[in-house]
A and B are shown apart, each in its own frame.
Chain A
């Protein structure tokens, strides 16, 4: 089974802090994704990566950046956290295009 591990289930940070969310996968998947999930809006794609050191913006990249230095790890960075970034963040991986995505359990982030 594919295992996608997000480093924290719950996280509380303060406005203006730099926040790192980590995602690790154990199946050598090429593609990795970061989404945020908000009530009534479903999942929205923030950033994705097709391979190591490659990244592309999704639909809502503003206020976020990402890092993928190793194939198994994809980090989401909130450069200066704001209250409107309070949300559930989900990481997903996929072997290659056309294959289903596998999700982690999510990180519920609160920005105070």
Chain B
């Protein structure tokens, strides 16, 4: 079946450090992939997406590349800020099931000044 696996958190970084949050998936076909972010006390917001192999999604300095050969969609940012502290969710879309999303378990990021 379809599934998404993320690296476990919490991840604690100093400001301006490089960030990588790993995400791998299992799916039939070629699903679209997403990263959502949840800031404290809020709902989820779409951060970026990629719809086909080798696509790179980017937003607010974050990037992720859809790697079909490794079934991965790792999130990266070159220099994190305290305001990036949040929970990050990787997700894929199940097109053969009405476009429902499958989420990873979430990775909490804490950035210290």
Query: Do the beta carbons of B43 and A106 come within 8 Å of each other?
Result: yes
Name the distance in Å between A5's Cβ and chain B's nearest Cβ.
10
Given contact pairs A4-B43, A100-B34, A42 touches B104 in the complex (Cβ within 8 A): yes
State A97–B89 Cα separation when bound (angstroms): 20
A81-112, CB under 8 A of B: which get 1 and which 0? 00000000010101001101111111000000
B25-60, CB under 8 A of A: which get 1 and which 0? 000000010101000011111100100000000000
Interface size counted on chain A using CB atoms at 8 A: 25
Query: Do the beta carbons of A103 and B99 come within 8 Å of each other?
Result: no
Name the distance in Å between B92's Cβ and chain A's nearest Cβ.
12
Is A78 part of the contact surface with B, judged by Cβ < 8 Å? no
State A48–B94 Cα separation when bound (angstroms): 14
Residue of B32, B98, B105 touching A42 (CB-CB under 8 A): B105
Residues of chain A with a CB closer than 8 A to B19's CB: none
Name the distance in Å between A75's Cβ and chain B's nearest Cβ.
17
Residues of chain B with a CB closer than 8 A to A104's CB: 43
Task: Tell me the A15-31 residues at the B interface (CB within 8 Å).
Answer: 31
Number of cross-chain contacts by CB at 8 Å: 52
Residues of chain A with a CB closer than 8 A to B100's CB: 33, 45, 48, 58
A interface, by DSSP: helix, strand, loop or mixed?
strand
Given contact pairs A90-B43, A104-B43, A106-B43, A98 touches B49 in the complex (Cβ within 8 A): no
User: A-side interface residues toward B, CB under 8 Å?
Assistant: 4, 31, 33, 40-45, 48, 50, 56, 58, 90, 92, 94, 97-98, 100-106
User: B-side interface residues toward A, CB under 8 Å?
Assistant: 4, 32, 34, 36, 41-46, 49, 89, 93, 95, 98-101, 103-106
Name 28 A/B residue pairs within 8 A (Cβ), A-sorted.
A4-B43, A31-B99, A33-B100, A40-B105, A42-B105, A43-B44, A43-B89, A43-B101, A43-B103, A45-B100, A50-B98, A56-B98, A90-B43, A90-B44, A92-B44, A97-B95, A97-B98, A98-B32, A100-B46, A101-B44, A103-B36, A103-B44, A103-B45, A104-B43, A105-B41, A105-B42, A105-B43, A106-B42
